[in-house]
Chain A
Amino acid sequence: MANITWKPEGRSDVVAEVRDGCTLMEAAVAHSVPGIFGDCGGALACATCHVVVAEEWLAATGRPGPDEDEILDMVEAGRRPNSRLSCQIRAHADLDGLVLHVPVSPA
């Protein structure tokens, strides 16, 4: 299990206990986190689960793979240095306490 905090821009934080193996996109959708939709279910086709990982968590979450990296270059809200697609991060004990910022796309 990992305790995860989502910080959607301009909205209240969402905190949830996420079981190991579950992707952080699935967990966000299950808890109705604003700004995370996960339309394609994790197939790297929709780019609707963009999060920004807090600096101190970068080592634990790892780096984007090549396909994710190319998609992140074009996300609606604009790529930040620590941007990830949360469908590509799976919960595990080392992520307990993780904080994710959820950027909002310009309307």
Chain B
Amino acid sequence: MHPRTVVVGAGQAAVALIARLRALDADRRITLVGDEPVLPYQRPPLSKDYLKGELAADGLSLRPRDWFEAQGVELRLGRSAVAIDREAKTLALDDGAAIGYDHLALCLGSEPRRLPAAAGGSLAGVHVLRRMADATALRPALAGASRVLIVGGGYLGLEVAAAVSGAGRAVTVLEAAPRLLHRVAAAPTSDYFRDLHRRHGVRVLEGLGLVALSGPDRVERAILSDGSELAIDLVLVGIGTAPVVDLAARAGLTVEDGIAVDERCRTSDPSILAAGDCTSFPHAGDRIRLESVQNAIAQGETAAATLCGLESPYRPKPWFWSNQYDVRLQIAGLCKGYDATLVRPGKRPGSQSVWYFRKSSLIAVDAMNDPATYMIGRKLVDAGINPHKSDLANLDFSINSLITC
């Protein structure tokens, strides 16, 4: 019998892993276990086109069903993994089945942080947005909601604000930190998006926390940290995600803010790998977690290479995007730990880029409606080329010249 790889969790990392694994090894048996009853799908549109009703559910699928058949992948969808027996090398499912494995790949993703029930987190009308079912529940609920509160001014919250504002609906974004996007971007990017949302009639409240949501059974009011109250019909909670680590932790695998893997996606058990949002991995002398499509795909492919005995360590080249109204934000690199920024206006009206430096090294670029700068920024960050700030500040300076010489 050919060895069997069981992939648990059916998101972007899992599909990337399977595609690469099958390309490298035609014979290996592959089983995919996922706890949602649908084919693996893309999450990014859930807070954008899918929420706006501009994309159908089947348009979200990462691959059609016949692709999995053609690749010889056994699908166990709508089933949760409940336990790993590392001695017996079996994975127990919630229907009582136990699947034997030679290798197990954990691609379990992350789950949204919720408000505690004591703060009204369990009231009807309080939503999170992570899964297709969340978005499918949110769409009709929004239809009857004229006052929407979004808790959390990160990318998810801002994308939802952009998708649901207009049509006479009052939308408020509440951010406890002093500014929007404070964890993921510098002040000029926060300023850009604050202005954008205000121009579209969204109320942006920063430096204000949520004390509690209240209502008899449905949410009706939000009480804020300055003592004020907001009357509301619907709440979306977008306060970040946590890696899904329970299954790994119960099996005794090392967990350090995510399932700990090395740069080849190996966990503390040589037969078990992990990829995507659920992992933490070594990076620049630190251990980090990246929640992004780019990371899910690259780690999935790395895990597949490791399974086939290839030496292919993961060196992240992060990129990310967000669409809000008519603004396309594209991000190259990782701004974590920046100590200086520079803002460069783009060629089109309303376009600009924010360049992030750490000890004079370029580490990231945020580009708003400026795809050319994004593409150049990606190449510069990947190649470790450090432009001079004085050049970037000069609008007559061609940034193309940085990569052609």
* Interface locus among A2-10, A50-58, A67-75, A96-104: A67-75
Q: Contacts A30-B67, A40-B321 hold; do A47 and B375 have CB atoms under 8 A apart?
A: yes
Tell me whether B294 is interfacial, beta carbon within 8 Å: yes
- Which residues of A sit under 8 angstroms from B328, Cβ to Cβ? 44, 67
- Which residues of A sit under 8 angstroms from B375, Cβ to Cβ? 47, 70-71, 73-74
Interface residues of B (CB under 8 A from A): 19, 42, 44-45, 62-64, 67, 70, 293-294, 297, 319-321, 323, 328, 330, 348, 370-372, 374-376, 378-379
In the bound complex, what is the Cα–Cα distance between A67 and B8 (angstroms)? 37
Contact B64–A44 (Cβ < 8 Å): no
Q: Contacts A29-B63, A32-B19 hold; do A73 and B321 have CB atoms under 8 A apart?
A: no
| Chain A count of residues within 8 A CB distance of the other chain | 18
- A16-75 residues with Cβ-Cβ distance < 8 A to B are 29-30, 32, 37, 39-41, 43-47, 66-67, 70-71, 73-74
Contact B293–A39 (Cβ < 8 Å): yes
Q: Which A residue's beta carbon lies closest to that of B370? A: A70
In the bound complex, what is the Cα–Cα distance between A29 and B70 (angstroms)? 13
- Which residues of A sit under 8 angstroms from B63, Cβ to Cβ? 29-30
Contact B321–A43 (Cβ < 8 Å): yes
In the bound complex, what is the Cα–Cα distance between A32 and B294 (angstroms)? 19
Interface residues of A (CB under 8 A from B): 29-30, 32, 37, 39-41, 43-47, 66-67, 70-71, 73-74
Q: Contacts A29-B63, A40-B293, A45-B321 hold; do A73 and B44 have CB atoms under 8 A apart?
A: no
In the bound complex, what is the Cα–Cα distance between A47 and B376 (angstroms)? 12
Contact B376–A41 (Cβ < 8 Å): no
- Which residues of A sit under 8 angstroms from B294, Cβ to Cβ? 39, 46
State the Cβ distance, A46 to closest chain B Cβ, in Å. Answer: 7
Given contact pairs A41-B42, A45-B330, A67-B328, a sample of 19 additional A-B residue pairs in the complex whose CB atoms are under 8 Å apart:
A29-B62, A29-B63, A30-B64, A32-B19, A32-B70, A39-B297, A40-B293, A43-B44, A43-B321, A44-B328, A44-B330, A44-B371, A46-B319, A47-B375, A70-B375, A71-B371, A71-B372, A73-B375, A74-B375
In the bound complex, what is the Cα–Cα distance between A77 and B330 (angstroms)? 21
17 contacting pairs across A/B (C-beta < 8 A):
A37-B297, A39-B297, A40-B44, A40-B321, A41-B42, A43-B44, A43-B321, A44-B330, A45-B319, A45-B320, A45-B330, A46-B294, A67-B371, A70-B371, A70-B372, A71-B371, A71-B374
Q: Which A residue's beta carbon lies closest to that of B379? A: A74
In the bound complex, what is the Cα–Cα distance between A29 and B44 (angstroms)? 18
Contact B64–A73 (Cβ < 8 Å): no
State the Cβ distance, B326 to closest chain A Cβ, in Å. Answer: 11
- Which residues of A sit under 8 angstroms from B371, Cβ to Cβ? 44, 67, 70-71
Among candidates A41, A45, A46, A70, residue contacting B45 with C-beta atoms closer than 8 Å = A41
Among candidates B67, B293, B376, residue contacting A74 with C-beta atoms closer than 8 Å = B376
- Which residues of B sit under 8 angstroms from A29, Cβ to Cβ? 62-63
State the Cβ distance, A19 to closest chain B Cβ, in Å. Answer: 11
Most buried by B among A32, A41, A44: A41
